[in-house]
Chains A and B, each alone.
Chain A
Amino acid sequence: MFFKNPYFWGFGLLLISVYLCLYRVAKGPTPADRMVAIDILGVILVGFCALMTIYGERDFYLNLAIAWSLLSFIGTLALAKYLEKRNFDE
């Protein structure tokens, strides 16, 4: 049965986490709430890529995880600067 498969529970719980983040992105009253939720979503997707490495027996998902973590970091810094109403070259 599919619910005896541990990968079903792993991917299912991670998908529930992603949906909770998307709920906060859609609902969040201030822009800062949405930015926090997008940041958290990026970190969860890195974990998703790492789990796909074991499930799919291929290690190129880890390259995706490296690139995604660094790009999400730079994007969040740019969003924080925008929130602070400062110029990007400071």
Chain B
Amino acid sequence: MNEVITGIIIGLGILFDLFGCIGLVRFPDVYTRLQASTKCVTLGTALIVFGVFIYEGFTPAGIKALLVMLFILATSPTSAHALARGAYRSGIKPEKGYVVDKYQELIEKEERGDFAETKNQGTKRGI
């Protein structure tokens, strides 16, 4: 019974990984690729590692698998966010242009110095 549940969860995880990578190849620009692949691959790998946890139970290996799942769920969205911000600041545009761009307005407002009183000295450049 345990092995059947493990097989179903790991199979779902592998399918999520595959669909995320198909999205990585098929989408037109950086932001949509990031959007498709990061969510799908994070959930897929977390499901695979959770299947390993169910297979092993509460042994040292199972606890390690749970730890890997927590690491993946914490670190992968963070690195995706950092990559999206880096891509924006290096000047890459989306394929069809912007409808609304709040982040550019925020950067311009910060460069004019509207936030100079309300922000600390150390965090002036980072938003």
Task: Report which A residues bind B (CB closer than 8 A).
Answer: 6, 10, 13-14, 16-18, 20-21, 23-24, 30-33, 35-37, 39-40, 43-44, 46-47, 50-51, 53-54, 59, 62-63, 65-66, 69-70, 72-73, 76-77, 79-85, 90
Q: Is the CB of B87 within 8 A of A50?
A: no
**In the complex, what distance in Å separates the CA atom of A50 from the CA atom of B62?**
11
Between-chain CB contacts (< 8 Å), 27 pairs: A13-B15, A13-B17, A14-B17, A20-B21, A21-B21, A24-B25, A24-B33, A30-B92, A33-B33, A37-B24, A43-B45, A43-B72, A43-B76, A46-B49, A47-B44, A50-B65, A53-B56, A54-B55, A59-B56, A62-B65, A62-B68, A66-B64, A66-B68, A76-B83, A80-B82, A80-B86, A83-B83
Residues of chain B whose beta carbon lies under 8 Å from any beta carbon of chain A: 6-7, 10-11, 13-15, 17-18, 20-22, 24-25, 30, 33-34, 37-38, 41-42, 44-45, 48-49, 51-52, 55-56, 60-61, 64-65, 67-68, 71-72, 75-76, 78-80, 82-83, 85-87, 89-90, 92, 125-126
> Complex formed: what's the CA distance from A50 to B52 in Å?
7
Query: A77 vs B84: C-alpha distance in the bound complex, in angstroms?
Result: 11
- CB-CB under 8 A for A66 and B67, given A44-B17, A44-B41: yes
B48, A47: Cβ atoms under 8 Å?
Answer: yes
A48 vs chain B, min Cβ distance (A): 9
A30 to B85, CA, bound (A): 15
List B contacts of A70 (CB < 8 A): 71, 75
In the complex formed, the residue of A with least CB distance to B44 is: A47
Contact partner, B37, options A10, A32, A36, A51, Cβ 8 Å: A36
Given known A-B contacts A46-B72, A54-B55, A59-B61, A80 and B24 have beta carbons under 8 A apart: no
- A69 in contact with B75 given A13-B17, A39-B80, A84-B90 (CB within 8 Å): yes
Q: Is there contact, CB below 8 Å, between A76 and B82?
A: yes
Query: B6 to chain A: which residues have CB within 8 Å?
Result: 54
Across the interface, name the chain B residue whose C-beta is closest to A12: B14
